[in-house]
Amino acid sequence: MRETMKACERLVRLAPLACLPLTTLAAEPQNSASPEAHESRAEWMRGGCGIMVHWLYPKTGEIDTWVDAFDLNGFLSDFDRTGADWLIFTIGQNRGAYASPSATIEKYAGPGHCSRRDLVLEIARAIKARGKRFIAYIPSEIKANPTMHAGFRWNDDDADRHDFQNRWTELLEEWSRRLGGNCDGWWLDGSSKRFHPNGLDIALWTKRLRAGNGRAVLAHNPGMRLYNDLFGSDYTAGETCFIREAP
């Protein structure tokens, strides 16, 4: 464990904007009409562990400057030292910038939000080449990202978020199809009723997230608690502030 944490510290030095919780995730089917299907999807997680690297655009300069400077070989070298079975990596969060190109974002929000370099795809391919698994992190809301509100129809007064869900999942489908079999799963942040008072259209999200890989595992993060009671999840998101809380 000490060697793993040292490697994680090196990863943080490589990407100083990263938050790197070391996470053990257990396959745990959630509220599904067919639990067998959910269990079989996430079975590869059972008994293993992964890490999440929260790499973010720092809100200064162009996104291309930061993405182009990302040391992929150094990052992968330190990932290898952790011994992790899978990597969760951010496509982006709520800073209006994403480490993967997107025609959908350009269509709805204009240029300047996405990098030319597809860093996410590069990392995913490299992780898969190592016989490991890759999970993409992306929020299911953009409340703190006003630069995207108009284009993606985010409206704080709309409890259903119907128009937003349609457009945002259109974006996720684009990324899902490009990543294809290189993406083994998704970690969806902000899926709770704090951001979606009337809940998500789970059928829509599931269909579009799995457009590129029908076996991808999904986790809708309900917030800082260890269990996941959100329908549509194959495994527990596991967000926590204290390692001592882990089961």
Q: What is the pTM of this model?
A: 0.83
Q: State which amino acid sits at residue 112.
A: G
Band of the pLDDT at 226, cuts 50, 70, 90? low
Residue 141 makes CB contacts below 8 A (sequence gap 6+) with 94, 154, 161, 189, 190, 191, 195, 196
pLDDT tops 60 at residue 245: no
Cβ–Cβ under 8 Å, residues 42 and 217: yes
Predicted local confidence at residue 4, as pLDDT: 45
Which conformational region is residue 47 in: left (phi greater than 0), alpha (psi within -120 to 50 degrees), or beta? left
Exposed / middle / buried, residue 164 (Cβ in 10 Å: 0-12, 13-18, 19+): buried
Predicted local confidence at residue 229, as pLDDT: 59
**Residues 80-100, mean pLDDT to the nearest whole number:** 96
Separation of alpha carbons 213 and 230, rounded Å: 21
Predicted local confidence at residue 186, as pLDDT: 97
Band of the pLDDT at 19, cuts 50, 70, 90? very low
pLDDT tops 60 at residue 18: no
Predicted local confidence at residue 213, as pLDDT: 98
Instruction: Give pLDDT tens digits for 112-129.
Output: 999 999 999 999 999 999
